[in-house]
Chains A and B, each alone.
Chain A
Amino acid sequence: MHERLDAIIDVLLPPVAAILGALLVGAIMLLLLGANPIVGYVALFQGAFGSTNSIADTAVKATPLLLVGIGICISFRGGVINIGGEGQMILGALGAIALGLIFPTAPGWLIITLALLVGFAAGGLWGGIAGYLKARYNVNEILSTIMMNAIAVQLMNLLLRGPMIDTTQKGAARIPQTARLADAFDLPRLIPTRLHLGALLAIILAFVVYFFLWRTTIGYRIRAVGLNPFASRYSGINVQHNIVLSLLLSGAFAGLAGAVQVYGVNHFMITDGTAAGFTGSAGFNGIVAALFGLLHPIGTIPASFFLGALLVGANKMQRVTQVPGALLTALNGLVVVFVVSSEIWRRRRARARAIKQVEIESMQEEVPVPGAMD
């Protein structure tokens, strides 16, 4: 019982300490910028949790992180590093919104369901290409996914400036954006806030992916290939197929994140020429969420919620303290670095505990004294 508590503390203490450390550095930076750190951090907390609306916003912000994150769990567990979340989100969003724009008068529930599926498929395609390039041509997936992010942004620019542009815009200089989707296509709200169905869907899918990875044969194979491709091949698993599958599924969830973002939050698409303009760097932060969640889909739920809270609260902090938003990006980076650096303490403490355990057990044994007569 005591050891259980110790173990939990060991897992939670380093990251919590690390976050506090990062926030401390942030406070110093706020001071240097002439802002009051206490006011700032109160605003941060209020922004994330201060009202029902805030909590809803946090959940909304966390949703794409969770979806991308559970995809990352699949890919990393499958032994492939997917850095293509940004591009896959974009592809998913493009596919999903195209459907809604082509059939503006179709029933809402039908389009929403199909659009999410299309988004899933489009992201899956984008990820699958990288998977195929790796499996068939041994193209390193870090390289290919990074390149495909850039290609996806150009594709988005091309489509949003051309075939998908909102033609009802007046004036000569048209903004590269699509028309707004029909109201019927908005994802239903869970409670009267901005919280939409996508958040619930993401949580459900996290459990589904957990089940998939640990309770199905396919999931087992993916994990086996990730742990030891050589042994897996020897035991008859088709490593190539599983590499493609891992990247495909990972991309699919990122694509779904993009589709959910469009149908639940933005309701249209606009491009400023960059990936982050649409994704808000969820493609990267999703990786962070997955890793904070220890590459476990269920763990990714609180991790993405926490990251979402940071991002949402930071917005409010920025408004209140009038500090440039860039501080928050830097702070985001610091939190990531601090938390990931604290891993070592967790491992050292775990090892120390294990050694202690062995000592305790050996003292409790009755050691027969050789040669003693009684």
Chain B
Amino acid sequence: MLSDLFTASVLIGILSSGIRLATPYLYAAIGESFGQRSGMLNLGVDGIMLMGAFSGFYVVLLTNNYWFGLLAALIVGGIMGLATAFINVTLQAQQGISGIGIFLFGLGMSDLLFQKLVHNVETVTGFPDAPIPLLSKIPVIGEIFFNQNVLVYGAYLLVPLAWFILNKTTLGLKINSVGENPAAADSLGVSVTGVRYLTVTLGGILAGVAGASLSIALLGVFQQNLTNGMGFIAIALVYFGGWRPLGILIGSLLFSMVNSLQIWMQVIGIPIPSDIAVMMPYILTILVLVLSSGRFRQPSALTKPFERAG
């Protein structure tokens, strides 16, 4: 039984789904990390993901065009991100609570719209597998990495893109400075409000895409609370990754690989109680954190609202 695990096809299957499963976490966590680097904590990511998931799903249901679906999720996520920015930056609401409120709103609204507009259990065929020519023919590696769908590729491309923006551009410099010392940044002419609006809205857009990646790429379905807490895990992964894109990638992969492993273990019948198996990714994440303790420092201005004195 256990030996079944080590056959080539199963191992390839595990790795391949692990790569796939990490997609929503990558989008959501990288999006959240932009906001957090500028000092804004958005606990409402899960709610935005749900709204993005439903929007994408519904538009694909209506138009049968998954690109329109993605666009819808992007727009809805952006609107919610903008609203979050308004609440947290301009109205200076306490970020922990406002996030919970946004989460509850997204949870309820997506379910409400689903019940009113869709009623039944529907499935859509979303993004198809898009094997990259040539590369996907490479034995083993090709199957795992290069035979996924476009949204999966997008998530992984986001990592170096985010790294580049945060570390090699002026914008990144502004984001970091606003998150570390907004007063100093303000005195140098950086618009703290502008930067924060940008990062939080961007976080909303990416959260919307994350939700869509679930409903129209990975699963092809929507239901109440589709994400089941994934948004919160994504926030946790930002902390795990030390607010860095590479760290977030590692965290997302670790989490998703273990998740994939336990799913496959149950599929091929290894006798582990399913409840223990599902626990594994969470316990492992905590374990890894314990072992790598204390190496990261959070942005100094995280969760502190900024108001120009005087």
Interfacial residues, chain A to chain B (CB-CB below 8 A)? 33, 81, 83, 133, 137-140, 142-144, 146-151, 154-155, 157-158, 161-162, 274, 281, 284, 287-288, 291, 324, 326-337, 340-341, 343-344
Judge whether A133 and B102 touch: CB under 8 Å: no
In the assembly, what is the distance between CA of A224 and CA of B112, in Å?
A: 45
Judge whether A288 and B275 touch: CB under 8 Å: no
Judge whether B293 and A162 touch: CB under 8 Å: no
Residue A274 contacts which of B116, B228, B233, B290 (CB distance < 8 angstroms)? B228
Which residues of B sit under 8 angstroms from A288, Cβ to Cβ?
97, 100-101
Q: Is B239 an interface residue (CB 8 A)?
A: yes
Looking across the interface, which residue of chain A has its beta carbon closest to that of B289? A139
Judge whether A324 and B112 touch: CB under 8 Å: yes
Which residues of B sit under 8 angstroms from A337, Cβ to Cβ?
87, 93, 98, 101-102, 105
Q: Is B282 an interface residue (CB 8 A)?
A: yes
Judge whether B93 and A326 touch: CB under 8 Å: no
Within 76-103 of B, Cβ neighbours of A (below 8 Å) are at 87, 91-94, 96-98, 100-103
Which residues of A sit under 8 angstroms from B273, Cβ to Cβ?
158, 162
Q: B105-127 toward A: CB 8 Å interface, digit per residue (1/0)?
A: 11111111001100000000000
In the assembly, what is the distance between CA of A339 and CA of B116, in Å?
A: 28
Which residues of A sit under 8 angstroms from B225, Cβ to Cβ?
274
Judge whether A138 and B294 touch: CB under 8 Å: yes
Q: Which 5 A-B pairs have the closest CB atoms?
A: A329-B108, A330-B108, A333-B105, A336-B101, A333-B104
Determine which residue in A143, A161, A324, A335 has the highest number of CB atoms from chain B within 10 A of its CB, and name it.
Answer: A143
10 interchain pairs (CB within 8 A)? A139-B286, A154-B279, A158-B276, A326-B115, A326-B224, A329-B105, A329-B111, A333-B101, A333-B103, A333-B107
By secondary structure, the B interface counts as: helix
Q: Is B27 an interface residue (CB 8 A)?
A: no
Judge whether A155 and B275 touch: CB under 8 Å: yes
Nearest-Cβ distance from residue B272 to partner chain A, whole angstroms: 11
- Bin chain B's interface residue count: 35 or more
- Given contacts A144-B286, A150-B282, A341-B91, are A81 and B294 in contact (CB under 8 A)? no
Judge whether A340 and B93 touch: CB under 8 Å: yes
Residue B293 contacts which of A137, A155, A331 (CB distance < 8 angstroms)? A137
Judge whether A333 and B108 touch: CB under 8 Å: yes
Looking across the interface, which residue of chain B has its beta carbon closest to that of A292? B97
In the assembly, what is the distance between CA of A107 and CA of B235, in Å?
A: 46
Judge whether A139 and B293 touch: CB under 8 Å: yes
By secondary structure, the A interface counts as: helix
Judge whether B116 and A284 touch: CB under 8 Å: no
- Given contacts A324-B111, A341-B93, are A154 and B104 in contact (CB under 8 A)? no
Judge whether A143 and B94 touch: CB under 8 Å: no
Which residues of B sit under 8 angstroms from A140, Cβ to Cβ?
239, 289, 298
Which residues of B sit under 8 angstroms from A324, Cβ to Cβ?
111-112, 115-116
Judge whether A146 and B232 touch: CB under 8 Å: yes
Which residues of A sit under 8 angstroms from B283, Cβ to Cβ?
147, 151
Which residues of A sit under 8 angstroms from B101, Cβ to Cβ?
288, 332-337, 340
In the assembly, what is the distance between CA of A60 and CA of B283, in Å?
A: 34
Which residues of A sit under 8 angstroms from B294, Cβ to Cβ?
137-138
Q: Is B285 an interface residue (CB 8 A)?
A: yes
In the assembly, what is the distance between CA of A291 and CA of B294, in Å?
A: 29
Which residues of A sit under 8 angstroms from B43, Cβ to Cβ?
83
Given A139-B290, A344-B91, 7 extra CB contacts under 8 A: A83-B43, A133-B286, A143-B236, A324-B111, A326-B107, A333-B47, A341-B87
Which residues of A sit under 8 angstroms from B97, Cβ to Cβ?
287-288, 291, 336, 340
Q: Is B240 an interface residue (CB 8 A)?
A: yes
